[in-house]
Chain A
Amino acid sequence: MDRRTFLKTASLSSIAFAWGCGTDSDRKIFSRVTASDDSVTGEALWYAATCMECPAGCGIIAKNREGRVVKLEGNPRHPVNRGKLCIRGQAALQGVYDPDRLTAPLLKTNGTFKEISFTKALEILKQKAQTPSERGRDRIRMLTGLTGKPLSDMFTETLAGFGSDRAAVFEPFSYDSLKAAHQAVFKKRMLPSFHMENADFLLNFGADFLETWLSPVEYAGKFKSMHAVREGGKGLYIHAGPFMSLTAANADKFLPVRAGTEYIAAWGILHRLLDNKSYNHLPESFARDLKTAASGYTPSFVEENTGLSQSAQEMLTEKLLAARNPLVLGSASTTPDDTAFLLDTAAALINWILDENLSLYDFENRHAVENTMSTGETAQFFRKAGTDPLDLFLIYNSNPLYSIAYIDPVERLFQNDAVFKVCFSSFMDETARNSDLVFPVRLPLETWDLYESKTGISSILQPAMGKLTHAPAIGDVFLELQGEDSRFDSYRDYLLEHLYAGAGIKSQKDLLGAIQRGGVFEQDGIEAKKTEQVKPVFDKKLSAVLKKAAKACKPRESKGIRFLAVPSLRHFDGRGANKSWLSEIPDPVTSIAWESVLMVHPATLEEYGFEPGDLLEIDAGGRAIRAPVYDYPGVVQDLIVMQTGLGHTDYGRYAREFGENPLTLLKAGAGKGEFTSYLISPDRVRKTGKAGKQPGTDGSRSQHNRKIALSMKGDRAQDHAHAEKPGLDMERFPLTLPYEAGYDEKRDVYPPHEHDGYRWGMIVDLDRCVGCSACAAACYAENNLAVVGKEQIIKGREMAWLRIERYRDRNFDERLIFLPMMCQHCENAPCESVCPVYAPHHSKEGLNNQIYNRCIGTRFCAQNCPYKVRRFNWFEGEWPKPLNLQLNPDVTARTKGVMEKCSFCIQRIKQAHNRAKNENRQIRDGEISPACVQTCPTGALVFGNFLDPKSAVSRLARSSRAYQVLGYLNTKPAVIYLKKVVHDV
């Protein structure tokens, strides 16, 4: 545990007060003259909680300043994310302060919503619940997103009280095929986690584990412990699939495979593996059946149907056989169709064939999302809801009208006036709009709750701030519904009992500890010992699956252009679409913000006569969407790829009318099988004749051979010591450290200047950076960056202090490389001297300070910055109420006409200074983490003091991979990049 972590957890102790004083933390938000007992004005309080932006359930700590949460960070003790957060986790904060958040219940009368009081709403709810329960069983149905066990128990109990069945748990991304494959192989519908960190070769057929798959923060970290350069080289990752997602872009090699035929490729590999070698641990009959099943997947058949060349297949097989710990991953959460099941089965089988002990599977720590309904079950649920007599339909934490592809039965249900629909939602989303009563409830950051991120990990949620609205917690609403006879005063009491009973809490002390820690989990949670050995079982069912696989071995006809919807890194399934940061920060692969584009291969574009930027209309099953084209060579030919999450018709100002929802089209391929098919053949794709500028933030995808984002080939970075003699041109200019040592009187016109004890700087390891953009979101949150919106981004006026630059790799043209670009805090910063009023200048600690009050807006600094990291406030930044409450009080919000830029989170440096001064010591290495460094899931960013030769940054700067972007300009950037190391496969 590092120093910073310690400090944070130490401050968590203040929760004790919160707990002890009852509803103390439920108080309303207002600034007070005298602070309450547990808060000191100007000091932050940290509350541990759990992120509910996706089912992964990462631990967070929420920074509370003067009664309001201003920043979320990963909980360093939480075993899932270990202190890191993804872009969505960072943006979760905006949900609380969403300006479109409903403050009062809305009752629909004659087609229009009317505000009513919470008491009235509760009354209506009670009455509506009471009546059907008198009429008979199961006349109330409930759909909920994935919740923790106490809450789901509460739902079950309450519904049972009304004579109805338990709530159906629905998640749009439910990993059905993976669950089904595990059911087939391991006899349990489960989602074990993977010890990806222990693998040395990773073969992936589509799982977007850096974006949305199961638990992206966790896997990003694990992936980089396997794939980052370390002693003895780095692991190898090859991705075979139809589309180069962000995850695939981080592979050493991306092998295009025709959409929907990934399973053929996987079975082809299986076929080759079985041909190459006999595996003693396989039961004989099984081995025989398997061989038979795979026999049709010959190399030539695979090549013909998938586009994966025989040599590539051979290479993959060899690598798998040569690897000590190979791991094969199957489909993404957005599966092409039923064949995904065969793909995931093949992946599981290969893993088992190659490793008898399945040592990379962790069956103890399974992902919570395994507890959701499958697509088939969901469909069944809605069909039954449509046919069975029903009076009341409750929806919590789910937006089926938006996120369910085969929308017909859902729509029918919502069109049925006989059913009274209650939506427990704080937002007027599509489902709420079509409900009869919209009942806002508190959001996760305002509620007590428990969430089992994984089996064996119970994360606590607690109110991290006071109430913004009068909305009750969902648990309390249900407690109320249960009536007077409930044993509990509040849902919190209910939760407490649950904790004491089931979660291993024995005493008040345990409880306090758990709350402080953020949950109940072993310190080294995930690596918990194995108690139960899960083994594949060869039975009839598996045998049937093998037959199915054999049957599926037939040519897949590919007729015309196809359409594939993929999950979005930023918007996931669309639930966070109204969080403006998520839309404002561009997608790292396309660099496009606020818009969902159709990604198409340039050759396909040419074939169909489309131009990048053309607005296309895609029809399927009687529905159509219109979206602009983006040319992307990372898509196989004849395929249109579109991300989910945008295209809301309701929800809020930041979501409505931005982009399109690809799920609209999926009806065409839905409902046929067990799994949602995200891959369809559209009826028609045509040009609308319109074209426009996209809100992209990139100027060019090519680096134009400049020394910007560098990579190097090979396993060992050490082999690539500087071969060339240093010179003065761009390529050969040596690394110049940003302090006295970096001066050479043969190159430097200016004499070196002194620093006062510290010279802050940063290392950016491109080998670790996956481009996930979490850092950018953290920066928006920490530094009060204004959101400018789509129109302004089209004009090129985004305010990001830190951006992920996406380039084509200079060494491998087909690869992408991501480069976090922020103020380089140059030692000889060109921006400084050109300012007429000293607004930017060099601090004694090497920072490039920007004094907002002094700035008059000449913009010369920005013009003279080679890195173009300075941002100008073209207009007054807007924070519609109550978004303004999110503003970090330690950072000034800038007015119009002022230049701003990355400060290395100087407010955090100042805090560390104060701390160190109070304790009469120097600031320790690693004590300061700027927001971006703090959140980086892969540890690509390191911050520290260059003057300390033992600091991490000094150590890393000595790496042979170290270089500076455009260092030949002799600005002596204090951000030193480490080259990416790519296996040349």
Chain B
Amino acid sequence: MNTHATTITALFKSEEDTLAAIREIREHGWQVTEVRSPVPAERIAEALGRGKSRVGWFTFAGGVIGFFSGFSLAAFTATRWDLIVSGKPVLSWIPFFIIAFEFTILFAVFGNVLGLLTQLGLPEKDYETNYHEECSGDMYGIEAVADQSEAERLKEVVGRTGTVKRADRMDE
């Protein structure tokens, strides 16, 4: 780990500028640790090399659990007393399918929410580190790290298209 790294945050007007800045920072061999944006930006995520989201697996797992638990619940409860209603079989899979379906959706959504919370790291208490309120407005915020020695260069580079907001020294 770099013991004398400086984290610089800067704000950019548009996605294009941001992307350009990222490229440039990368070219200099510095790291872009985070980009904050007011809207989702696929290209930025791509540029940062973020892989595909794994939220879907949570959702899928939830769905599978839901499907089987829906059926199981219906079947289990029906067999407690084996009551015959309307001459239908005690285990009537056809109507039970509706229960299973709803449970599938419900649990898939639970899975999805769980996936979102874990993947997003929410709720996050100290979100304010390196955060600028403009990022929820119309600005894109870059968080770049450079060796202390190169901090000024970095500032200059990002300062060309963006506004440098902060330059912190990070120890350890």
Q: Which residues of A contact B (CB under 8 A)?
A: 750-753, 827-835, 838, 840-842, 972
Contacts and interface: CB of A to CB of B under 8 A. Distances in A.
A750 B89 CA distance: 7
A731 to B, nearest CB: 23
Interface in B82-112: 83-89
B45 to A, nearest CB: 48
12 contacts: A750-B88, A751-B89, A827-B87, A829-B87, A831-B86, A833-B85, A833-B88, A838-B81, A841-B83, A842-B84, A842-B85, A842-B87
Contacts, number: 38
- Please classify the interface of chain B as helix (H, G, I), strand (E, B), loop, or mixed, using the class held by over half of its residues: loop
Contacts of A834: 86
A752 B87 CA distance: 7
Contacts of B85: 829, 832-833, 835, 838, 840-842
- Would you list the 9 A-B pairs with minimal beta carbon distance, nearest first? A828-B87, A833-B86, A832-B85, A833-B85, A842-B84, A841-B83, A832-B86, A750-B87, A841-B85
A833 B89 CA distance: 11
Contacts of A752: 87
Nearest to A830: B86
Contacts of B83: 838, 841-842
Contacts of A753: 84, 87
A760 to B, nearest CB: 15
A829 B89 CA distance: 13
A838 B78 CA distance: 10
A753 B89 CA distance: 8
A431 to B, nearest CB: 56
Contacts of A972: 87
Nearest to A738: B87
A828 B86 contact: yes
A753 B88 CA distance: 9
Contacts of A842: 83-87
Contacts of B88: 750, 828, 833
A834 B88 CA distance: 11
B140 to A, nearest CB: 53
B76 to A, nearest CB: 15
Nearest to A972: B87
A146 to B, nearest CB: 54
A751 B89 CA distance: 7
B80 to A, nearest CB: 10
Given A750-B86, A750-B87, A752-B87, 20 more contacts: A750-B88, A750-B89, A751-B89, A753-B87, A827-B87, A828-B86, A829-B87, A830-B86, A831-B86, A832-B84, A832-B85, A832-B86, A833-B86, A838-B83, A838-B85, A840-B85, A841-B85, A842-B84, A842-B85, A972-B87
B89 A841 contact: no
Contacts of B87: 750, 752-753, 827-829, 842, 972
Nearest to B81: A838
Nearest to A750: B87
Interface string B51-83: 000000000000000000000000000000101
Contacts of A831: 86
Contacts of B86: 750, 828-834, 842
Nearest to A749: B88
A838 B89 CA distance: 14
Contacts of A750: 86-89
A643 B84 CA distance: 48
A827 B85 CA distance: 9
Contacts of A835: 85
A827 B83 CA distance: 13
A582 B36 CA distance: 83
A752 B88 CA distance: 9
A830 B89 CA distance: 14
B70 to A, nearest CB: 16
Contacts of A828: 86-88
A751 B90 CA distance: 11
A828 B84 CA distance: 9
Contacts of B89: 750-751
